[in-house]
Structure 1
Amino acid sequence: MAAIGRILFLALLCCGLALPASAKIEYSDSQRDTIIELVEQLEQRHYSKLEYDDTLSSQHLDAYIDSLDGSKMFFTAADIEEFQQYREMMDDQLPEGNMDAGYAIFNRFHERLRTRLEGVNANLAETVAAMDFTVDEYYDLDTDERQWARDQGELDERWRKHLKNQVLSLRLADKPADEIPETLSRRYRSQLKRVEQYNSQDVFQIYANALTELYDPHTNYFSPRRSENFNINMSLSLEGIGAVLQAEDEYTKVARLVPKGPADKQGELQPSDRIVGVGQGDDGEIEDVIGWRLDEVVQLIRGPKDSTVRLQVIPAKSKTTDERKLITIVRNKVKLEEQSAQKEVLEIPNGEDTLKVGVIDIPAFYIDFEAMRRGDKDYKSTTRDVKKLLQELQEEEIDGLVVDLRNNGGGSLQEANELTGLFIEYGPTVQIRHSSRRVWRDGKRLKSDYYDGPLVVLINRLSASASEIFAGAIQDYERGIIVGDRSFGKGTVQTLTPLTEGQLKITESKFYRISGDSTQHRGVVPDLAFPSLFDTEQIGESALDHALNWDQINSVRHRRYDDLSTVLPHITGLFEERSHSNPDFVYLEDQIALAAETRELDRLPLNEEKRLALRESQKQKALAIENKRRVARGEEPLASLDEEDEASDDDEEVDSVASADTEAQNDADDEEPDVLLTEAGNVLVDALVLKQQRYAANVREKD
């Protein structure tokens, strides 16, 4: 996605000493050696076997310019024309350690950037005061097709509208008019300070990653400082609230939530929400973080256990930047026992009978390697915990089992294999193909007892990696029915390689199912699809630029435990019949349709009255969807969505130092029934009943 000064706002990765305004940034001898090594590693070891030639050099130039100025707000057409001299030169220069092209382009960008920010901030109060919000004009959201500006005058006009949109967003977010100029001034002063702190490591990392990410989005160069901050900058995992963040445009965006972490348990923060402000405690001032470096936002969000942080976010579902939501989260560490698999029993009506469906929720594929290496016989792992829970559920005489892998981002490959072994007698579970094209297989090598009862696996768009290996194996063996949403599609394996300066994370292998299908890009396609609010253009491997394609290798001989093709059409028909009359399913589908409609917006009015009308129209559509569900459920309709928010606020006042028992009870009391989990249970019961009916019919035929 194009963005205004993408690197200015999101990837000011390393703060060095401030440079004089006239200083040009140059590369070092050690960086010269590093780029030579990096190109060699990419050509020799990357799975795709791409050669850095004229074609890739041309793409590298485009990617580099896009990473610096994706929204075409700083460079002019004349600048771009000048850069064309490098288009087919960089593949000759980099293998020799020559980075003149990359640094020349960056220094031009650096100059344009500093000049623009100084100019914007110089007369900001007067500029804001002169804005007329009754004029009919529009701010373009889709900048991908935008042409490079012919001259500075055209850039000035783009910036005028950009600044006007920021002011209008703050006005509509109820920012007092007299505070708006200072808010924006602080924002731009902060960004200018970061611009002045650019150093050679910053430039090298941007230039190198513009090349590495042409190979695939998971192949990245880490500068020395970024290597030291591995947890922040590579895994992007936050202690404190339990979220995985990434930088996008000038915002800090929620990539996913850590299962059972503070944010996940609090329930309001969602994937793709954009964090625009952070406040400390219950009443600390909200600090504007638009344009901040990712690691600086991380430091602001972190804090002592049991302390409170308040996040001001633009909700993922909002197309405009006007809507703001304040979310209060009590910081804590993710406890191992809360990350562990958990069980429950659903009671599913079936005619005059009630069937018991066991559920095992697996938030991650974990294993305590340290305890295992110490020889601790009671070390924790996903498979050990699930095996114990499964035995307990069987003692409760369940009629079938649902394995819930929603939001499970993966983890230990070993555990994905071991867990599959609990549901098959023996056999392979995964194939791993190296860049050398050698294929390695893993699985359950010895026959042993396994759970052979009815099985459903529930996945969603955030089920990734090890989750996809397990779900794919269950599907290939036809051991159970996969329901939910298409999974993430992360089917590659990376390794870390030290370089003269920094490290290279490089994709060397791909996962393949025993059917021969890759999990890469396509993910696992469920046998029965449930409604999903996840936007596949924003979340998932297929949403990433230059993601490796889906492909196939030879399948592995394996047993099929059932012929699900004989029952799936009937089960799908029963599901569709239920979902049409289920208010919660209809609500999900209506929300999906509204989200799709909102995504079609490609420009915003800068006329305040029209902007308010647009926002009110969206609120009314959301209210109509909510009331349609409430009426279908026999509840009183709302006069406004604010009623629901006020009711939620009254219900959710929780003492931040409450005991764990009280917190758990509050969570249980506040939670609505999980409609998708319940429907997974219904699907399992449908499959069980159909098989029983067919078995009875076969017996009668034989008699």
Structure 2
Amino acid sequence: MSLFATLSRSVALAVMLVITSPAALAQLEPTDEQRQAAVEIADSLRYGHYADINFDEAWSEDVFQRYLDILDNQRAYLLRSDIEPYRHLEADMADAIFNGDLDEAFALYDAFSERQRSRLESLLAQLDEGLDFNFESNERLEIDREDAPWATRQSELDDLWRKRLKNDALTLALTDQDNEQIESNLRQRYEGQLTRIDQTEPEDVFGVLMAAVTGSIEPHTGYLSPRQSESFDIQMSLSLEGIGALLQSDGEYVKVASLVPGGPAERAGILEPADRIIAVGQEDGEMVNVVGMRLDNVVDLIRGPKGSVVRLDVVPAQAVDMTRSQTVEITRDTVSLEDQAAHGEVIEVERDGEPHRLGVINVPTFYVDFDAFQAGEEEYRSTTRDVAREIDRLKEEGIEGIVLDLRNNGGGALQEANSLIGLFIDRGPTVQVRDAQGRIQLYGDTEAGTHYDGPLGVLVNRLSASASEIFAGAIQDYGRGLILGTSTFGKGTVQTLNDLSHGQIKLTRAKFYRISGDSTQNRGVEPDIIFPSLIDPERIGESSLDNALEWDTVQNVQYRRYGEPENVLEKLIAQHDTRAQNNPNFRYLERQSTLARQLREQHTSVSLNREQRKREMEAQEAEQLSLENQRRRALGLDELDEWMDARSEGVDGAESAEGATEDSDAESEGEEDEKTSVDRAHVLESAEILLDYAKLQDNRRLAAKR
């Protein structure tokens, strides 16, 4: 029997299953603790949040729509008629939350859960009857239905799911699985999702509802259940044993939001931001499909004892088809302060036949050993102390300038951002913090003198956030150095964690402002010289998040300028552009980021014809492979046969230049890595720019003396 002929029979069977299933009859109801917590959350938002929130009918409508989006963001389960009985919540949601009246919101969840269960049982019934995998039609499946209207007839969703099932099967078929493997994998996926539905508890529903409530305000405010609060405490104590990656939901998928500096995933070099995880397995166990799985359950699968291995099936961020996954292995570990410590190196740049030495200090995070500090120990570890030591060491090696590498630095201790700025200025304000009442507190460096007053560059990227943005913004405002790289994340808000009678709430209480008066919120810090990057700002960063607070300004404060880098920027940019045009890695980054954006814009649907799907996928990957091989040819590297091989070897990893022998010593291999690594290209070019800047400063000083 064909794939298409079996569908109507299996839908009828699914309806029968829903009617007779005991789980379908079990209604989830809010507990008294959750009702009370809802009232406390509403009060916290009303009286404690930074934003001035108007809990009116418009807010109620936003929360209702957000709740529906979280439940069924692809408009694949609920009919318009399923939603109509709860339309009054569009006007009444605010009253319901403030009064702890959650019954109707829970009932809507039950309606969704029943539709979801019915659909999964339908798919399993079809698998029981056997599938005829016919992939010769010219149909296409729309892959993003977030803005689609709600279906008015069941037949509309039946047709959507007929295509979805066909696509699920085709996706597996394109990975060379036979029919038996495809049916087994699909059964495991659907049964797993059905089991998770049957295991849903009132706390799960309450969490979804509160996510809609807090997410309507801004993205960094949120409810933490008692279980999540415990997990958060473990994470903050750095005793969490996992892979060191921050994950977030992205539709049905789990996406890597960022990597913990010094963590196992970053050290392994095989995960990147925006990668999607589609399956998780233990070292010797079967892979568990996690598409559609709740985020906290995925996190539980990935966690494990230190030293154990977890396997992840990952679709790279740059892949445009979910069939292009690869399995990676990461050894779980804890992240220590030593792993995150600042460390420096010397880079040699040749000009006119003469070598010049530039220092680079990598600052993965803003850290401080609070226990040692509070105990009064004189030699406690901190970002500022470690950077100061590295500066002293680099000065002894005769460097002509220093680049601080803050890429991927997501922030940390505010006091360390302040004190680190103090190494490069002689007293002065560093950041303004404005609370909900409009009161502004000014932070600054109070110690006289500077630790380093030479040429300075700060290298940032889209994952430089919070304290990193405070530091970069202050250096830019003071004219103390050059900011290089890409626009930063744009997180300019301050959160506190408050206890509730049931769980906790993370609440945005204040905003950061630069000493110039500009906020770092939403826009981030714009570099003086922009580098190309593969991180898409439309997918990563504050501006990509729903309801992010807007950029604004406050009154600037008085501060002295240490230099006027803007006066030489035109010349510096011209010199940089000349080098970038001749740099294979910079050309690759520029072209690959443009191509990735174009492919995502074009990739709004997928073909359900096997041969057409393969042609489309091969054409897209051929473009990506061509760019990679152009880069490799220019660098004297062996060309690749498959685009995914670049990911396997690591575009940013250790690659040997053509002609290198196995007995090459470690030093020569390191030199080749410097020349061939895309990631390293930003560091090397930053050193080049800083040398240009140092020479221009010397020339201006000489001219001033004449």
Q: TM-score, normalised by structure 1?
A: 0.91
| Residue aligning to 1:172 | 174
Aligned-CA RMSD value: 2.4
- Whichever residue aligns with residue 679 of structure 1, its letter is E
Question: Structure 2 matches for 1:48-447, cutoff 5 A?
Answer: 48-126=51-129, 129-230=131-232, 239-281=241-283, 284-447=285-448
Q: Given the superposition, is the C-alpha separation of residues 256 and 645 from structure 1 closer, same or farther in structure 2, using an over 3 Å criterion?
A: closer
Which of 39, 47, 50 is 1:44 aligned to? 47
- Structure 1 residue 23 corresponds to structure 2 residue 26: yes
Aligned to 2:216, the other structure's residue is in SS state helix
Matches of 2:547 and 2:42, distance apart in 1: 18
Aligned to 2:662: none
- 2:690 paired residue number: 684
Deviations 1:527-577 (A, max 9, x none): 110001101111111111001111100111111101112101110111111
User: 2:241·2:305 contact (CA, 8 Å) conserved in 1?
Assistant: no
* Residues 218-253 of structure 1, C-alpha deviations (whole Å, 9 max, x = no match): 111122222222258999996232211222222222
Note the C-alpha offset of 1:306. 3.3
- Contact conserved, 1:490 with 1:520, CA < 8 A, in 2? yes
* Alpha carbons of structure 1 residues 613 and 292: separation in structure 2 relative to 1, 3 Å: same
Secondary structure of the equivalent of 1:479? Answer: coil
Displacement of 1:330 in angstroms is 2.6
Note the C-alpha offset of 1:652: 8.4
**Take 1:225 and 1:635, find their aligned partners in 2: how far apart are those partners?**
50
Residue 4 of structure 1 corresponds to none
Alpha-carbon distance in structure 2 between the residues aligned to 1:204 and 1:414: 36
Q: Residue 486 of structure 2 corresponds to which residue in structure 1?
A: 485
Deviation at 1:47, TM superposition (A): 0.8
1:578-597 Cα distance to aligned partner (Å, 9 max, x none): 11111111111111122112
- Distance in 1 between residues matched to 2:669 and 2:356, nearest whole Å: 26
Deviation at 1:112, TM superposition (A): 1.2
The alpha-carbon distance between structure 1 residues 414 and 38, as it changes in their structure 2 partners (threshold 3 A), is same
Aligned to 1:630: 632
**2:372 & 2:270 partners in 1: Cα distance?**
35
**Alpha-carbon deviation of 1:273?**
0.9
Q: Distance in 1 between matches of 2:88 and 2:199?
A: 29
Alpha-carbon deviation of 1:688? 1.1
Q: Does 1:506 align with 2:507?
A: yes
Q: In the alignment, what sits opposite 2:701?
A: 695
Alpha-carbon spacing, 1:627–1:97, altered in 2? closer, same or farther (3 Å): closer
**Superimposed CA distance per residue, residues 412-468 of structure 1 (whole angstroms, 9 cap, x where no aligned partner):** 000000100000001010110111211101111232233110000000000011101
- What is the one-letter code of the residue matched to 2:399? I
Cα 1:627–1:455 shift into 2, 3 Å = same
Q: Which amino acid aligns with 1:384?
A: R
Look up the match of 2:475: 474
Q: Partner of 1:607 in structure 2?
A: 609
| Cα distance change on mapping 1:642 and 1:139 into 2, 3 Å | closer
Q: Secondary structure at the match of 1:212?
A: helix
Alpha-carbon distance between aligned partners in 1 of 2:239 and 2:588, rounded to the nearest angstrom: 32
Q: Deviations over 1:196-218 (max 9, x none)?
A: 12222221221122011111111
Which moves more between the two structures, 207-216 or 424-433? Answer: 207-216
Structure 1 residues 111-150: Cα deviation after superposition (integer angstroms, max 9, x where no partner):
21121111221222546x2242000011112213311111
Partner residue in 1 for 2:663? none
Distance 1:287 1:91, change over 3 A: closer
- Classify 1:498/1:463 alpha carbon distance in 2 versus 1 (closer, same or farther; 3 Å): same
**2:588 matches 1:587:** yes
Report the residue type matching 1:517 in the other structure: D
Alpha-carbon distance, 1:469 to partner: 0.6
Partner SS state of residue 409, structure 1? coil
Give yes or no for contact 1:587–1:626 (8 Å, CA) kept in 2.
yes
Instruction: Give SS of 2:24's match.
Output: coil
**Count, aligned residues:** 670
Query: Hey, what does 1:656 align to over in structure 2?
Result: none
Q: 1:409, 1:466 within 8 Å by CA — same for their partners in 2?
A: yes
Deviation at 1:628, TM superposition (A): 1.5
Letter in 2 for 1:562: G
Q: Does the residue aligned with 2:88 lie in a helix, a strand or coil?
A: helix
Q: Which amino acid aligns with 1:279?
A: G
Counterpart residue type for residue 605 of structure 1: S
Alpha carbons 1:368, 1:380 under 8 Å: kept: yes
2:36 alignment counterpart: 33
Q: Post-superposition shift, 1:27?
A: 1.7
Q: Aligned residue for 1:11?
A: none
Secondary structure of residue in 1 paired with 2:212: helix
Question: Matched residues in 2 for 1:641 and 1:245: separation?
Answer: 25
Residue 407 of structure 1 aligns to a residue whose secondary structure is coil
Q: CA deviation at 1:267?
A: 1.1
Write out aligned runs for 1:519-668 (5 A): 519-600=520-601, 601-635=603-637, 637-641=639-643
Looking at structure 2, the residues matched to 232 and 150 of structure 1 have their Cα atoms a distance apart, in angstroms, of: 46
Structure 2 Cα separation of the partners of residues 411 and 522 of structure 1: 19
User: Displacement, 1:259?
Assistant: 1.5
2 CA distance for matches of 1:484 and 1:235?
32
CA offsets 1:586-626 (integer angstroms, 9 cap, x no match) = 11111112211211111111101011011111221122112
Q: Is the contact made by 1:19 and 1:198 (CA closer than 8 Å) also made in structure 2?
A: no
Deviation at 1:671, TM superposition (A): 4.1
Q: Which moved more, 1:20-29 or 1:389-398?
A: 20-29
* Matches of 1:126 and 1:587, distance apart in 2: 50
The separation in 1 between residues aligned to 2:671 and 2:264, in whole angstroms, is: 17
**Whole-angstrom CA distance in 2 between matches of 1:592 and 1:338:** 31
Q: Which amino acid aligns with 1:55?
A: A
Aligned to 2:389, the other structure's residue is in SS state helix
SS state at 1:215 partner: coil
1:94 Cα deviation from its structure 2 partner:
2.4
Residues 232 and 295 of structure 1 are in contact (CA less than 8 Å); yes or no, is this contact kept in structure 2? no
Q: Per the alignment, in what secondary structure is the counterpart of residue 260 of structure 1?
A: coil
Q: Which 10-residue stretch deviates more, 435-444 or 84-93?
A: 84-93
Query: Which piece of structure 1 moves more, 179-188 or 234-243?
Result: 234-243
Q: What is the CA–CA distance in structure 2 between the aligned matches of 1:61 and 1:231, rounded to whole Å?
A: 31
- Structure 2 distance, partners of 1:408, 1:639, is 35
Contact persistence 1:173–1:324 (CA under 8 A): no
The AA in structure 2 aligned to 1:257 is L
Partner AA of 1:107 in structure 2: D
Residue 5 (structure 1) aligns with: none
Equivalents in 2 of 1:35, 1:298: separation in Å?
26
Q: Which residue of 1 aligns with 2:660?
A: none
Structure 1 pair 624–143 and aligned structure 2 pair: CA distance change class (3 A): same
1-structure distance, mates of 2:294, 2:90: 30
- What SS is found at the alignment partner of 2:322? coil
Match of 1:193, SS?
helix
- TM-superposed CA distance for 1:382, in Å, is 0.3
Measured in 2, the distance between the counterparts of 1:382 and 1:296 equals 34
1:9-66 alpha-carbon deviations (Å, 9 max, x no partner): xxxxxxxxx9842122222223222222211110111111102111101111111111
* Alpha-carbon spacing, 1:186–1:646, altered in 2? closer, same or farther (3 Å): closer
**1:647 shift after superposition:** 7.2
Q: Take 2:644 and 2:325, find their aligned partners in 1: how far apart are those partners?
A: 14
Q: Structure 2: which 5+ residue stretches go unaligned?
A: 1-20, 656-665
